[in-house]
């Protein structure tokens, strides 16, 4: 049974420290595009219940959509080993999706400017001059 946002908020109000209520609300907020609030609830859920594997997946997706790829990478790097260590049907099916997200983040970072080159020298940054138009 899918719950709407008002019901999930009411459920959370009964026990604000419940990580599963936080996850459920965070996931629904993610689905509705309310990413800033979603990430708050998902971070809480992840810290309070680090073995809840789906939280790593939804939290990383939310962070990516917010442009917080460094944090998303850390979440994925922490979550993937947990996912891969569980038995079949226990959340292990999240592993390939999470690995794909991490690979996508890493491939995008390889093409960004101001990253390390193959000989480990820092590429020069670009300076922009602002001029006042009259």
CA 34 to each of CA 69, 79, 115, 124: distance values in angstroms, whole numbers, following the listed order: 18, 23, 31, 37
Q: What's the pTM value of the predicted model, to 2 decimals?
A: 0.78
Give me the CATH code for the 5-98 domain, please: 1.25.40.10
Q: Residue 84's pLDDT is what?
A: 87
Question: 3-state DSSP call for residue 117?
Answer: coil
For the chain, what percent of residues have pLDDT higher than 70?
78
Parse the chain into domains and list their residue ranges.
Answer: 5-98
Contact 4, 20 (CB under 8 A): no
Between CA 60 and CA 98 the distance in angstroms is: 8
Whether 114 shows a pLDDT value over 50: the answer reads no
Whether 28 shows a pLDDT value over 80: the answer reads yes
DSSP state string for 89-110 = TTTTTHHHHHHHHHHHHHHHHH
Q: Given pLDDT bands bounded at 50, 70 and 90, which one contains residue 1?
A: low
């Amino acid at each position: 049974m899918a719950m709407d946002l008002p019901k999930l908020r009411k459920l959370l109000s009964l026990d604000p420290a419940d990580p599963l209520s936080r996850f459920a609300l965070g996931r629904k907020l993610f689905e509705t595009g309310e990413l800033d609030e979603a990430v708050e609830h998902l971070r809480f859920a992840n810290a309070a219940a680090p073995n809840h594997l789906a939280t790593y997946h939804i939290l990383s997706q939310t962070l990516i959509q917010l442009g917080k790829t460094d944090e998303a990478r850390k979440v994925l790097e922490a979550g993937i080993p947990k996912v891969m260590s569980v038995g079949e049907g226990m959340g292990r099916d999240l592993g390939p999706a999470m690995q794909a997200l991490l690979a996508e983040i890493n491939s995008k970072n390889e093409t960004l400017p101001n990253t390390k080159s193959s000989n480990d020298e820092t590429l020069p940054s670009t300076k922009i001059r602002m001029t006042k138009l009259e």
